[in-house]
Structure 1
Amino acid sequence: MKRFKAFVKKEFLHIFRDSRTMLILVAMPMVQILIFGFVISSEIKNASIAILDKSKDELTQEATQKLLSSGYFRLDKYLKSEQELETAFKRDRVKMTIVFEPGFAKHFYSDKTANVQLITDASDANTARILSNYASMILRDFQQSHNATIPNGNSLINTEVRMFYNENLDGVYMSVPGIMAMILMLVSAMMTSISITKEKEFGSMEVLLISPLKPFQIIIGKVTPYIFMALINTLSILAMGYWVFHVPIKGSLFLLLFEATLFTILALSLGIFISTVAKNQMVAMFMSMFALMLPTILLSGFIFPIENMPFPLRMISNIIPPRWFIIVVKKIMLKGAGIAYVWKETLILMGFIVLFVGLSIKKFKVRVE
């Protein structure tokens, strides 16, 4: 029994002395419960909206304030004309536009019927449905509060809901860009990091380094097959999305493939960086799963709207590369946007590539020395 107790004590000491094991056992569950607790929510707050007020009377201004004071919406801008509406959606500035008809107050008080149009960006079907329900509910409460002060009978506010880019609210319109980002990240980053770490673990990397090949040629040779595999995966996802699930490709297919290739290179550079840090395949796999899978699913906007998240997590989502790639794919596929609307996200992806390549070169030189 004493030997058994000594053995158990030794195992406890072994765990406590290993910082990586303590990180897995203690820190990871705490991080996961915090992320899941804050991210998984059906309530949306501070969603960006635009207002197209064709009436500009006191009643429309009061209705606007009622919407904004609810906490669900945040005003991005007032639109001057309907021509600005689609541009705002393509730039991904707003999730919904509320349009008040001309003479809104006159129609409400005299004709007993006034019309409001709710135009939502339905490229994210769940968010569009939730926001339109919120706005309809608030306008209904606004109508009832004013009906109590009208002596000659009740007036009605008709809300017409219009879904841009996804009229049937098909969830697959959102899942195809997200799945593409996740698969490209897994195939490129995880497999590259494991492949290079395997070479180091078994000692074959030293053999390659003393061969006539230069280090950058070794790295390019290792990642080239994954570029082709990622391209094949991209084409297969797009083909199945188009032919099986009828997800449109409204923008340029060439631009879409260029962005997918750019994201693949980014994922490969991230995989190379992980391989320079990881000591063996298990560590590389753990780092890839924890650093890539969970953020891609939870913090990229793939499943849960970023507007739901508290401010710290929204800031963290800015350094999650799949977030920007998903935005690009949605803009090109669903909104028909060109490079004029995705240049910012493209530059961000390029910046990530420069960052990870620079870190990998620095880390690799340190290891060689």
Structure 2
Amino acid sequence: MKRFIGFIKKEFYHIFRDRRSLFILFGMPIAQIMLFGFAITNEINNVDIAILDHSKDATTEAIINKISNSKYFSVKQFLDQESDIEAVFKKGKVKAVLNFENDFSKNLIKDHNAKIQILTDATDPNTANSISNYINAILSQYQKELNKDSNVAYQVIPQSRMVYNPELKSVYMFVPGVMTVILMLVSAMMTSISITREKELGTMEILLVSPLKPIQVIIGKVFPYIFLSIINAIVIVLLSIFIFKMPIQGSLVLLALESVLFIITALALGILISTVSATQQTAMMISLMGLMLPVILLSGFIFPISSMPLPLQVISNIIPAKWFNIIIKAIMLKGVGIQYIWKETLILIGMSLFFIAVSVKKYKIRLE
């Protein structure tokens, strides 16, 4: 019994000495509950909307103020004409447009009803539906307040329209999101074990004494996996088109180039993980467990980032999947060109260069 107790004590000592084990035991559950608790929500908050007010009277101003004063919406832009609506949606910042008819106040007084068109970006059908419901609820509350002290029943009639996905098909949201998650996790996981495999097999010494420069080793490790990941991307796109009937409104060439850029970013991140990891097991744990939850929860794949707390919104900016998710939805569903997604493209290019640069630096340290 004493030996058994001694063995148990020894195992406790080993666990408490191993910081990685402690992190898995205590850190991961805390991180998961925090992410799930704050990121998973069906509510919307601070959603950016635009206003097209043909009437510009006291009634429309009161409705706009009531909507903007709620915690759910933030009026970011006032449009001048209906042709501006498509352009503002393609930029991707505004998620809904309220279109007030001409002579709104006069129609409300004369005919006892007036119309508001609610246009929502339905590339994310769940969010679009929530936005429409929230706006309808605010308008209903305004209508009750308007009729409270009046003998005449005034009626504000909202007319909802879902742009880019009028049938609210969930596949329009999940296919781009799943493509993003698969390419990110698989690409990062494949390269994360490349250098650690050399260490465990004992062939790292050959690389260390070879005339190859660190940058050549890093690029050489990434290059073969680019083609394998491109095949993955092609298979996913073909399945989405022929099996799920996913439309591709934009340029296939642009989609291909952006996919290759994201693949390079993910592979570079995997190489960075590989250079800082001592074993394949550690690299796999970091690339799989460390990336899966942030990619799924903080990329805007399932839950709108604008509804998350500010710290999580800031953290989401360092997740490459967030930017590719924006790009792929814009190309496939909105049919936009590079002029609308150049910022996201530059961010992915910057991330790729950063990951490769840090990997080279870490590799140089190991050469010393």
Give the equivalent residue in structure 1 for 2:254.
255
Output aligned runs, 1:232-247, within 5 Å: 232-247=231-246
CA distance in 2, matches of 1:192, 1:325: 19
Give the equivalent residue in structure 2 for 1:11.
11
- 1:368 CA drift (Å): 0.8
What secondary structure is seen at the aligned counterpart in 1 of 2:336? coil
Instruction: Give yes or no for contact 2:191–2:270 (8 Å, CA) kept in 1.
Output: yes
Instruction: Give yes or no for contact 2:214–2:363 (8 Å, CA) kept in 1.
Output: no
Give the equivalent residue in structure 2 for 1:143.
143
State the Cα deviation string for residues 324-355 of structure 1 (Å, max 9, x = none): 00000011111111010010000000110111
CA distance in 1, matches of 2:324, 2:197: 29
What secondary structure is seen at the aligned counterpart in 1 of 2:301? coil
Give the equivalent residue in structure 2 for 1:126.
126
CA distance in 2, matches of 1:174, 1:230: 22
What secondary structure is seen at the aligned counterpart in 2 of 1:186? helix
Instruction: Give yes or no for contact 1:57–1:105 (8 Å, CA) kept in 2.
Output: yes
Give the equivalent residue in structure 1 for 2:330.
331
Instruction: Give yes or no for contact 1:76–1:93 (8 Å, CA) kept in 2.
Output: no
Instruction: Give yes or no for contact 1:96–1:120 (8 Å, CA) kept in 2.
Output: yes
State the Cα deviation string for residues 283-318 of structure 1 (Å, max 9, x = none): 001110233211110100011110221010000001
**Unmatched 5+ stretches in structure 2:** none
Give the equivalent residue in structure 1 for 2:229.
230
What secondary structure is seen at the aligned counterpart in 1 of 2:193? helix
- 1:205 CA drift (Å): 2.3
Count residues with an aligned counterpart. Answer: 368
Amino acid at match of 2:275: T
Amino acid at match of 2:64: T
CA distance in 2, matches of 1:361, 1:97: 47
- 1:113 CA drift (Å): 1.4
- 1:262 CA drift (Å): 0.4
Identity across the alignment (%): 54
Give the equivalent residue in structure 1 for 2:277.
278
Asked if 1:81 corresponds to 2:81, the answer is: yes
Structure 1 window deviating more from structure 2 (180-189 vs 333-342): it is: 180-189
What secondary structure is seen at the aligned counterpart in 2 of 1:51? strand
CA distance in 1, matches of 2:222, 2:351: 17
- 1:38 CA drift (Å): 0.5
Instruction: Give yes or no for contact 2:218–2:359 (8 Å, CA) kept in 1.
Output: no
- 1:214 CA drift (Å): 5.0
Give the equivalent residue in structure 1 for 2:167.
168
Give the equivalent residue in structure 2 for 1:51.
51
Structure 1 window deviating more from structure 2 (132-141 vs 216-225): it is: 216-225
Instruction: Give yes or no for contact 2:218–2:356 (8 Å, CA) kept in 1.
Output: no
State the Cα deviation string for residues 7-34 of structure 1 (Å, max 9, x = none): 2111111111111111111111111111
- 1:140 CA drift (Å): 1.1
State the Cα deviation string for residues 103-149 of structure 1 (Å, max 9, x = none): 11111111011000000000001000000000011101111211223
- 1:356 CA drift (Å): 0.5
- 1:69 CA drift (Å): 2.0
TM-score normalised by the chain length of structure 1: 0.97
Instruction: Give yes or no for contact 2:208–2:367 (8 Å, CA) kept in 1.
Output: no
CA distance in 1, matches of 2:218, 2:354: 17
State the Cα deviation string for residues 203-241 of structure 1 (Å, max 9, x = none): 112224434655444443433332111111111111111
State the Cα deviation string for residues 70-123 of structure 1 (Å, max 9, x = none): 211011111111121111111112000011111111111110110000000000
What secondary structure is seen at the aligned counterpart in 2 of 1:99? strand
- 1:322 CA drift (Å): 0.3
Instruction: Give yes or no for contact 1:209–1:215 (8 Å, CA) kept in 2.
Output: no
**Unmatched 5+ stretches in structure 1:** none
CA distance in 1, matches of 2:266, 2:289: 15
Asked if 1:37 corresponds to 2:41, the answer is: no
What secondary structure is seen at the aligned counterpart in 2 of 1:341? helix
CA distance in 2, matches of 1:29, 1:244: 37
Give the equivalent residue in structure 2 for 1:202.
201
State the Cα deviation string for residues 139-165 of structure 1 (Å, max 9, x = none): 0111121122332x2122111111111
Amino acid at match of 1:233: N
Instruction: Give yes or no for contact 2:214–2:360 (8 Å, CA) kept in 1.
Output: no
Give the equivalent residue in structure 1 for 2:186.
187
Instruction: Give yes or no for contact 1:187–1:226 (8 Å, CA) kept in 2.
Output: no
What secondary structure is seen at the aligned counterpart in 2 of 1:316? helix
Structure 1 window deviating more from structure 2 (125-134 vs 22-31): it is: 22-31
